Amino acid sequence: MVLGVHAGKELTPAARRLDQAAGGALKQALGDLAGRTGSTLLLRALPGVAAERVLLVGLGEKKDYAEAAYREAVRAAGLALRELGARDAALFLVDGKVGARPLSWNVRHAVLGLREAFYRFDQLKTQKKAPASTLGHVFLPLSSNTQLQQALAEAQATADGAELARTLGNLPPNICTPSYLADEAKKLAKQFKLGVEVLERKDMERLGMGAFLAVARASHQPPKLIVLRYSGAAKGRKPLALVGKGITFDTGGISLKPAGEMDEMKYDMSGAASVLGAIRALAAMKAPVNLVGIIPTCENMPGGAASRPGDVVTSMSGQTVEILNTDAEGRLILCDALTYAARYQPEAVIDVATLTGACVIALGHVATGLFANDQKLADEIREAADDAWDRVWQMPLWEDYQEQLRSNFADFANIGGRPGGSITAACFLSRFTRELRWAHLDIAGTAWKSGREKGSTGRPVPLLVRFALGYA
CB of 251 to ligand BES, least distance (A): 10
Asked if 331 is an active-site residue, the reply is: yes
**306 binding ligand BES? (CB under 6 A):** no
Which of 225, 229, 227 has its CA nearest to residue 211?
225
Give φ, ψ of 99 to 5 degrees. Answer: 55, -130
Among 250, 336, 387, 390, binds Zn ion (CB under 5 A): 250
Question: Do residues 433 and 338 touch, judged by C-beta distance below 8 A?
Answer: yes
Using CB under 5 A as the binding rule, the residues of this chain from 284 to 343 that contact Mn ion are: 327, 329
Nearer to Mn ion (CB atom), residue 116 or residue 322: 322
Binding string, residues 261-280; x marks residues near ligand BES by CB under 6 A: -------x------------
Among 360, 367, 378, 397, binds ligand BES (CB under 6 A): 360
Region of residue 448 (phi > 0: left; psi between -120 and 50: alpha; otherwise: beta):
beta
Question: On the CB side of 461, how many CA atoms lie within 13 Å of its CA?
Answer: 34
CA triple 103-54-24, angle to 5 deg: 100
Question: Do residues 272 and 242 touch, judged by C-beta distance below 8 A?
Answer: no
Asked if 87 is an active-site residue, the reply is: no
Among 69, 189, 292, 358, binds ligand BES (CB under 6 A): 358
CA 143 to chain CA centroid, nearest Å: 31
**351 binding Zn ion? (CB under 5 A):** no
Among 86, 348, 444, 469, binds ligand BES (CB under 6 A): 444
Helix/strand/coil for 342: helix
Binding string, residues 225-264; x marks residues near Mn ion by CB under 5 A: -------------------------x--------------
In whole angstroms, give the CA distance from residue 229 to residue 254: 35
Using CB under 6 A as the binding rule, the residues of this chain from 312 to 351 that contact ligand BES are: 325, 327-330
CB of 319 to ligand BES, least distance (A): 18
Helix ranges restricted to H, 171-288: 178-192, 201-207, 210-216, 270-284
Using CB under 5 A as the binding rule, the residues of this chain from 329 to 348 that contact Zn ion are: 330
Helix/strand/coil for 227: strand
Nearer to Zn ion (CB atom), residue 81 or residue 301: 301
Which of 53, 50, 5 has its CA nearest to residue 31?
5
Nearer to Zn ion (CB atom), residue 326 or residue 373: 326
CA-based Rg of the chain, rounded to a whole angstrom?
24
The site for ligand BES, by CB under 6 A, has a size of: 16
Nearer to ligand BES (CB atom), residue 92 or residue 448: 448
345 C-beta neighbours (distance < 10 Å), count: 11
Active site residues per annotation: 257, 331
Residues that bind ligand BES (CB under 6 A): 250, 268, 325, 327-330, 354-358, 360, 415, 421, 444
